[in-house]
A = this chain, B = another copy of it.
Amino acid sequence: MSDLLAGRPRLITAGVQLFADAAAAQGAEVSRVDWQPPMPGTEADLATVLADPRRAPANAEAVRRIAETQALLVDVLPAGPALGLQPNDFLHAGPPIDWQRASGPLRGALLGAAALEGLVDDPEQAEPMFAGGAGYTLNPCHSRGAVGPMAGVVSSSMWLFVVEDPATGRRTYCSLNEGLGKVLRYGAYSAEVLDRLRWMSAVLGPLLQGAVRRHGPVDLKAILAQMLQMGDEAHNRNRAGTLMLLRELLPELIDSDAPSTDVAEAARFVAGNDHFFLNLAMPACKLTLDAARDLPGSSVVVAMARNGTDFGIQLAGTGDRWFTGPAQLADGLFLGNYGPSDANPDIGDSAITETAGLGGFSMAAAPAIVRFVGGEVSDALAASRRMYEITVAEHPMYAIPVLDFRGVPLGIDVTRVVRTGILPQINTGMAGRLAGVGQVGAGLVTPPAEIFPKALAALAASVPS
C-alpha cells in the first residue's frame, strides 16, 4: 500500500469525464475507459435477463441459425397468387400502422398502388377510401413473410422475388426495385411512376421469372459475401451485387422467346439501376433472421423496420411483438435543392440488412458509401467497429477485408444496446415528407433509444421466475 502511494498516481477512469479531467490537471496519468451507465431505469430488467440461463445458449443458437441458413432466389411471382392478396389488399413497410398515422411517403405509395390496381383512375381519388378505413386491408410486409424498401407498399399486381431456404422450404418475398428518384417506394405516384410499375408487371416480372427458372436457384449469400469484397454493403451500395446478378441472369434472359426489344429494355433497366440487388439482399436477410425467431430467452434482434412514423424491432425471444418508438430523421446528403425540412422520418424494411450485419454495420467494407450517405471514410470504419460492441458474434461467411477479414458484426443483443447506450447504425435513403415527392436524399440514422428498454422489459417479463 505504501508502494502504491510512493509513485506518481496512475488512474483508470470510467464514465464521468470531470473526475478524469481533474486528476489529469494535477499531473496524474489517466487511462480513460469509454463507459456509460445503462439506459435509465433498465437495471432490474437487465439483471433479470442477464441472469436467465437460457439467454447465452439461445443467443448462440440464434446467430448459428442466421449464419447457416441458406438463401436461394428460386422464382419471381405476382404478389396476388404468391401472398394471397386481392386488389384491395395492401402491404407496407415497418410495424403496423393505419392511414391516419401514416406519413406522406406511405400515403403517396398507397394512393399510387390503388390506382395501379384499378381501384381508382387517379391516385388522389383513393384518399377517401383509405381515410374512411373500409374497403381495403393494410398490413405489414413482415406479417406475410415479405420485406419492402422505403414505403414498402406491395399490391396484388406487383411481381416479387421469391427467396427460399432449401433445408425447410421457408420463403420470403420482396418487390422488384424501381430505381431511384420519382418512384412509388419513395411516395411518388405520378403517371411515369405508374407506367413504370405497369411495365415491370407486364414485361420485367415475367422475363425475370423465365430467366430464374431456366437458370435454377441463385445463391444470394454467396453474392452477398462477394459484394463485401467489392465495396458494397448491400443496403445503399448494391453495385457489384447487381452486376453479379446480371452475370447470372442476362444469358438466361436472352434465351427467352419474348420480343428482343422487351429483353433489351429489361436488360437495360436492370443494368442501369445500381440498387437493383437491394430487393434481393433484403429478403435474403429476412429469411436468415426468421430462422432465429421464437427462441425463448434470446435477446437477439430479428427485425428492425420503419413505417415512416414508427421504428419497430422484434426479438428472437418475444415472438411477433413489435417494440416501437418515433422514427428519426436521417442526417445525410440531399438531392438537388432539397434540404432537411423536406425529409420524412426514417422509413422502410431495409434495416433488415443491418439486422443481419450488413448495411450500416458493414460500412467499413464500402468506404465509397460516404459519397452517397455523407460523413467521412473514418466514420464508416468507426461505425462498423462500434457495432461489435452490441452484437454477439461475427459472421463466419461475410468478411470485411479492410478489417483484416473480420466477420461482420452479427446478432444485435438488446442487453448490450441497453447496457452501452450504443444504438444500431443504419444507412438509408430519405423520402420526401409529402406524398408524391419521391426521394430527397440519403443519410445515416439510428433507432429511437426507447424501444430497446421496452423490448428488454418484455423479455424480462418472459423469464420464468
Interface residues of A (CB under 8 A from B): 229-232, 239-240, 243-244, 246-247, 250-251, 254-255, 260, 263-264, 267-268, 271, 367-368, 370-371, 376-378, 381, 401-405
In the A-B complex, the 8 residue pairs with the closest CB atoms: A367-B401, A243-B243, A229-B368, A368-B401, A230-B231, A254-B254, A230-B230, A367-B402
List, in ascending order, chain B residues with CB within 8 A of A247's CB. Answer: 243, 246, 271
Question: Could you say how many copies of this chain the assembly holds?
Answer: 2
> CA of A370 to CA of B244 in the docked complex: distance in angstroms?
22
Task: Knowing A368-B401, A377-B401, A377-B404, say if A268 contacts B243 (CB, 8 Å).
Answer: no
New A-B pairs, 17, CB < 8 Å, besides A367-B401, A377-B404: A230-B230, A230-B239, A230-B240, A231-B231, A231-B240, A240-B240, A240-B243, A243-B243, A243-B244, A250-B250, A250-B251, A251-B268, A254-B254, A254-B263, A368-B401, A371-B405, A377-B403
Q: How far is the CA of A260 from the CA of B257 in the complex (A)?
A: 13
Q: Which residue of chain B has its CB nearest to the CB of A376?
A: B404
Q: A402 → chain B, closest Cβ, in Å?
A: 5
Q: In the complex, which of the residues A271, A376, A401, A404 has the most CB atoms of chain B within 10 Å of its own CB atom?
A: A401
Residues in B neighbouring A263, C-beta threshold 8 A: 254
Question: Which residue of chain B has the shortest Cβ distance to A366 in the bound complex?
Answer: B401
Interface centre among A230, A244, A255 (most CB of B within 10 A): A230
Identity of the chain B residue whose Cβ is nearest the Cβ of A381 in the assembled complex: B402
**For the complex, what is the distance from the CA of A377 to the CA of B365, rounded to whole Å?**
13
Q: Which residues of B contact A229 (CB under 8 A)?
A: 231, 368
A84 to B224, CA, bound (A): 47
Could you tell me the distance between the alpha carbons of A149 and B250 in the complex, rounded to whole angstroms?
29
CA distance in complex: A229, B402 (Å): 13
A240, A244, A267, A268 — most chain B CB neighbours (10 Å): A240
A288→B378 CA distance, assembly (Å): 32
Residues of B within 8 A of A232 (CB): 230
Q: Which residues of B contact A370 (CB under 8 A)?
A: 401
Give the distance in Å from the alpha carbon of A128 to the alpha carbon of B462 in the complex. Answer: 86
Bound form: Cα–Cα A244–B274 in Å: 11
Q: List 14 A-B contacts (CB under 8 A).
A: A230-B231, A230-B239, A231-B231, A231-B240, A243-B243, A243-B246, A246-B247, A251-B264, A251-B271, A254-B254, A367-B401, A367-B402, A368-B401, A377-B402
